[in-house]
Amino acid sequence: MLKKFLSDKSVFPLDYNTPWEITSRLCEIINQLMQNLDDNYTIDNGVAVHKTATIGHNVTIKAPAILSANSFVGSNSYLRGGIFLAPEAKVGISCEIKTSVLLEGCAVAHFNFVGDSIIGHNVNIEAGAILANHYNERDDDTVFVHWEGERISTGLHKFGSLVGDNCRIGANAVLSPGTLLPPQTIVNRLQLIEQDPL
How far is residue 27 CA from its own chain's centroid? 13
123 domain-assigned: yes
| Rounded distance between C-alpha atoms, residue 39 and residue 78, angstroms | 25
* pTM across the whole model: 0.93
In which domain, by residue range, is 103 found? 2-193
Would you please indicate which residues are annotated as catalytic (active-site) residues?
A: 110
91 domain-assigned: yes
Beta carbons of 120 and 137 less than 8 angstroms apart: no
Nearest to 120 by CA among 178, 65, 192, 168: 168
Domain total of the chain: 1
**Residue 166 is part of a domain; what is its CATH number?**
2.160.10.10
198 domain-assigned: no
pLDDT per residue as tens, the chain (198 positions): 445 555 665 555 556 778 999 999 999 999 999 999 999 999 999 999 999 999 999 999 999 999 999 999 999 999 999 999 999 999 999 999 999 999 999 999 999 999 999 999 999 999 999 999 999 999 999 999 999 899 999 999 999 999 999 999 999 999 999 999 999 999 999 999 999 997
29 domain-assigned: yes
The Cβ-side half-sphere exposure at 166, using a 13 Å CA radius, reads: 3
